[in-house]
């Protein structure tokens, strides 16, 4: 298990204010920049991952150390793979603790977005770490609960966490009985070696998603999601997913 706790954080308040369309020179921008400084000071994004070897593959599942991960899309994405990298990344309990009961709505909304920025930093860091230490040129990821309900059900969080040991003790992320993560701005999933670019967004039907990273692809959907026996496809999208607002990996 590799735990990453000292992840560098460099938030650019001006660039973020522009990204979130906060009017330059306004009182709001001053308040926003103060909050960015708070998050920069307190924020401790974290991540952990494991190197897991695939010991068997079925039609719509792979077995990793005796744990069965069930997803037709994941199975197809792992056609050539011998190993994968279960991981959890989080904005960290420190930034999560910055919110107070009396905070106004604007501050709460900004804090939510800034915690998403910390999560993006953590995900990019863990992906880079895996790539460098495992000497893998290109990685893609999938996350239980992202995109359409049939892609990789949220209930598979249980199996995923069983591969990762004491996640709460190591980085403070807890899995609830309804398979959600606390802190909320956290993500769990697997990275895997790939040659083709893959984003879950390519097989997600959700419309008007602000976090979409790739357009829906009918070709990818047919190749990865269609039932081979009768060509049926399911198109229901999950209402939430396992990831925070920035959804940097297209995890919905």
Regarding 72 and contact with ligand SF4 (CB under 6 A), the answer is no
Regarding 201 and contact with ligand SF4 (CB under 6 A), the answer is yes
Q: How far apart are CA 53 and CA 65, in angstroms?
A: 7
Closest CA to 130 of 71, 189, 174, 183: 189
Least distance CB 206 / ligand SF4 (angstroms)? 4
Among 147, 172, 183, 248, binds ligand SF4 (CB under 6 A): 147
Among 206, 226, 233, 245, binds ligand SF4 (CB under 6 A): 206
Closest CA to 143 of 192, 183, 187: 187
Least distance CB 214 / ligand SF4 (angstroms)? 7
Regarding 251 and contact with ligand SF4 (CB under 6 A), the answer is yes
Select 46 or 243, whichever has its Cβ closest to ligand SF4.
243
Among 211, 244, 246, 248, binds ligand SF4 (CB under 6 A): 211
Q: How many residues bind ligand SF4 (CB under 6 A)?
A: 14
Select 50 or 199, whichever has its Cβ closest to ligand SF4.
199
Residue pair 149/238 in contact (Cβ under 8 Å)? The answer is yes
Among 29, 149, 209, 226, binds ligand SF4 (CB under 6 A): 209
Regarding 149 and contact with ligand SF4 (CB under 6 A), the answer is no
Regarding 120 and contact with ligand SF4 (CB under 6 A), the answer is no
Select 169 or 210, whichever has its Cβ closest to ligand SF4.
210
Select 32 or 90, whichever has its Cβ closest to ligand SF4.
90
Q: How far apart are CA 198 and CA 220, in angstroms?
A: 9
Least distance CB 203 / ligand SF4 (angstroms)? 8
Q: How far apart are CA 226 and CA 123, in angstroms?
A: 29
Residues that bind ligand SF4 (CB under 6 A): 146-147, 200-201, 204, 206, 209, 211-212, 241, 247, 250-252
């Amino acid at each position: 298990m590799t735990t990453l706790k000292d992840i560098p954080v460099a938030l650019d308040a001006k660039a973020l204010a522009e990204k979130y369309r906060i009017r330059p020179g306004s009182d709001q921008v001053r308040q926003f920049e103060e909050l960015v400084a708070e998050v920069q000071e307190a924020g401790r994004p974290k991540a952990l991952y494991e190197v897991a070897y695939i010991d068997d593959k079925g039609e719509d599942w792979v077995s990793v150390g005796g744990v069965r991960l069930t997803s037709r899309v994941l199975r197809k994405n792992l056609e050539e793979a011998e190993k994968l990298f279960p991981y959890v990344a989080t904005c960290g309990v420190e930034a999560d603790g910055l919110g107070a009961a009396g905070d106004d709505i604007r501050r709460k909304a900004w804090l939510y977005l800034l915690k998403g920025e910390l999560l993006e930093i953590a995900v990019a860091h863990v992906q880079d770490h895996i790539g460098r230490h495992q000497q893998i040129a290109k990685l893609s990821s999938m996350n239980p609960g992202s995109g359409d309900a049939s892609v990789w059900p949220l209930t598979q969080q249980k199996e995923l966490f069983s591969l990762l040991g004491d996640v709460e003790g190591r980085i403070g992320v807890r899995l609830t009985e309804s398979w959600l993560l606390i802190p909320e701005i956290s993500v769990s999933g697997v990275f895997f070696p790939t040659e083709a670019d893959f984003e879950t967004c390519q097989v997600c039907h959700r419309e008007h998603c602000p976090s979409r990273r790739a357009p829906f692809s009918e070709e990818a959907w047919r190749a990865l999601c269609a039932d081979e026996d009768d060509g049926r496809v399911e198109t229901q999208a999950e209402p939430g997913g396992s990831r925070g607002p920035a959804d940097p990996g297209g995890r919905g």
